[in-house]
Structures are given as structure tokens and as C-alpha cells.
């Protein structure tokens, strides 16, 4: 006998669930790694308010993108309750008005814009352009007349903005220049952030196919998407060795301890887990990303 579905949360807990907190390591990790990469390179030490501001911007962009995705998928019918597998969707499940979710997305993007503007005024006007591009990318991922997430480019967005831009940008706000180590470290960070999205899209292949949402997972198919997930996780672990070695921060290789935690979700994906069975894989991938990022940041900072 199947247990009845759990009742959705209410009040502020509903909006917290809609923000998809399990995805937030994708915002925290690049800021920590990028900041750690320039420890010892900033005269007078790190400028901590800039690090905190960069974290706020990254989190606000992540939450804004999540709400925007909820809104756009909901009004398109992609998150229809009959085909949806996975966490709460505010619009798709009729738990919140589309206008309210859209307002939450814009409010989150507004926080990112205001705090990002403070960084731009302190560091340089080029950050205005980077911030505007990040906000636009977050909205048009599933919003607008031609959402690029529906065309299979979501993984590119995640790698670029939650890998390269967030990691190198967090170093940039400290030094005012691009840092080679931060750029290198952005590769494994971006690969794991992308693995998080691939897990989500692997789970949603049946529903997305039915709804006409042509994600990369839908285009590749189930089998090749599973290999892509493994390649991203393994690629991150492999990439960290030359990045830390060539960057003169070998202690960063302590992040390879995350291999022990990565084994379980990788085995689950290769064993054919699907549907609800992929939800624990999504959670585990977030933990891998968080542990890997924390250890990489620690190793880079101690080696600075």
C-alpha cells in the first residue's frame, strides 16, 4: 500500500521550499573558493565586506533564478502536478499565484542588483555589465519567448555563471584583476554545479519530454545523460589536481576527500535510479559539491 503524499508546507516554509535550498551550495561554493584563491595576494588582507557582498549576490541570483524557473515552468504547464516528480513547485502545484512568484523572483534579482551595484562602485563599472548579464541569464533561462533552458543550454549557463563568473568574480572583487588560480579553480567548481543540474534534468526527462521541454538531458537521452553526470563529477576531481599544483597551492588537493562522498550518488546514477529515486542523488550531489568546495577553499587559503 502506497503512503499518501506529504502535505505541502505553508507560510514562510512554502516560500523557503520554493527557493530550493538544496541548490544553494552552487552559490556558496564559488564565492568561498574564489575568495580563498587570493588569500595572501591582497594588500592588508581580504576585504571581508566585499566577500560577504559577493555571497549575497550569488545567493540572491540563485534564489531569483529558482523562483523565475518556478514561475515560467508553471505558467507554461511544464511543472503540471500530474507529471511533476521532485520538490515543491509553487505555480505548477497551485500553491502560489504566478504574479506572487514572479514578484519574488524580481525581488531576489533586485537584492542582487543593489548589492552588486555597491561592489561595482567600489571595484569598477565593468561589474555592472557582469551583474546585468547574470540577472538576464537567470530570467531567460526558462522565461521569455525563447527560453534557452528549453533548448538544451541550461548546463552552459550554470557552468559559466555559477562556475567561472562566480568564482573568478569573487576573486576579482578583492584584487580588481582576473586571477589565474581562481579561473582554474572555477572549472571543477563549475563542473560540480553543472552535475547538480544534470541530476535534476535526468530525473525530469519523462515529464520534460511530454511537455516539449528540450533540455540537454532530453536531447541526450537517459543513458548518455547518466554518463554525462559521471563525467562531470569525475572531471571535477581530476581537474583539481593540476589546478592546485600549477597554481602553487597543493593543499587544495585535500578536496579529493569528497571522492568518498561522491561514490554513492555516482553508483546510484550508473545503477539506473530514476524518478523519485533520483531525489536522494540530487541531495547527495549537493553534499559532494559543498564538501568539495569547503575543502578546496580551506586548502587554497592555507596555502596562500
C-alpha separations of 154 from 2, 142, 149, 255, 294 in Å: 35, 9, 4, 26, 25
Mean pLDDT of the chain: 91
Dihedral of CA 120/185/30/191: which sign?
A: positive
C-alpha separations of 143 from 18, 34, 117, 285 in Å: 17, 29, 24, 26
Residue ranges, the chain, pLDDT below 50: 1-4
Count CB neighbours of 34 within 10 A.
Answer: 32
The stretches of the chain forming alpha helices (DSSP H) are 12-18, 25-37, 48-76, 98-123, 126-140, 154-159, 166-175, 180-203, 205-211, 216-220, 222-246, 259-270, 279-302
Give the whole-angstrom CA distance, residue 193 versus residue 216.
15
Supply the pLDDT for residue 82. 55
Cβ(47)–Cβ(175) below 8 Å? no
Give the whole-angstrom CA distance, residue 270 versus residue 268.
6
Supply the pLDDT for residue 1. 41
Q: What is the pLDDT of residues 185-205, one digit of tens each?
A: 999 999 999 999 999 999 989
Q: How far is CA 32 from the centre of its chain?
A: 14
Q: Domain coordinates of the chain in residue numbers?
A: 25-302
Dihedral of CA 97/69/12/50: which sign?
A: negative
Supply the pLDDT for residue 48. 93
Amino acid at each position: 500500500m502506497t503512503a499518501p503524499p506529504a502535505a505541502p508546507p505553508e507560510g514562510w516554509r512554502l516560500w523557503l521550499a520554493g527557493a530550493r535550498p538544496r541548490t544553494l551550495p552552487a552559490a556558496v561554493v564559488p564565492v568561498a573558493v574564489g575568495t580563498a584563491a587570493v588569500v595572501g595576494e591582497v594588500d592588508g588582507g581580504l576585504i571581508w565586506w566585499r566577500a560577504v557582498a559577493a555571497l549575497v549576490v550569488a545567493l540572491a541570483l540563485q534564489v531569483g533564478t529558482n523562483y523565475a524557473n518556478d514561475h515560467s515552468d508553471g505558467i507554461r504547464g511544464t511543472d503540471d502536478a500530474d507529471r511533476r516528480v521532485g520538490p515543491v513547485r509553487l505555480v505548477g502545484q497551485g500553491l502560489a499565484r504566478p504574479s506572487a512568484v514572479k514578484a519574488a523572483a524580481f525581488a531576489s534579482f533586485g537584492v542582487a542588483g543593489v548589492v552588486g551595484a555597491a561592489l561595482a562602485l567600489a571595484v569598477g563599472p565593468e561589474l555592472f555589465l557582469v551583474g546585468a548579464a547574470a540577472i538576464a541569464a537567470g530570467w531567460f533561462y526558462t522565461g521569455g519567448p525563447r527560453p534557452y533552458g528549453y533548448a538544451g543550454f541550461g548546463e552552459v549557463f550554470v557552468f559559466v555563471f555559477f562556475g567561472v563568473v562566480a568564482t573568478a568574480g569573487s576573486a576579482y572583487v578583492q584584487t580588481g584583476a582576473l586571477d589565474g588560480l581562481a579561473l582554474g579553480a572555477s572549472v571543477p567548481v563549475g563542473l560540480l554545479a553543472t552535475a547538480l543540474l544534470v541530476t535534476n534534468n535526468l530525473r525530469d526527462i519523462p515529464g520534460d519530454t511530454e511537455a516539449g521541454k528540450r533540455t540537454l538531458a532530453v536531447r541526450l537521452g537517459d543513458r548518455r545523460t547518466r554518463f554525462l553526470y559521471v563525467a562531470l563529477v569525475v572531471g571535477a576531481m581530476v581537474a583539481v589536481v593540476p589546478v592546485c599544483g600549477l597554481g602553487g597551492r597543493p593543499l587544495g588537493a585535500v578536496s579529493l576527500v569528497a571522492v568518498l562522498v561522491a561514490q554513492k550518488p555516482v553508483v546510484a546514477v550508473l545503477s539506473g535510479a530514476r524518478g523519485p529515486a533520483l531525489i536522494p542523488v540530487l541531495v547527495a550531489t549537493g553534499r559532494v559539491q559543498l564538501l568539495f568546495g569547503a575543502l578546496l577553499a580551506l586548502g587554497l587559503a592555507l596555502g596562500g
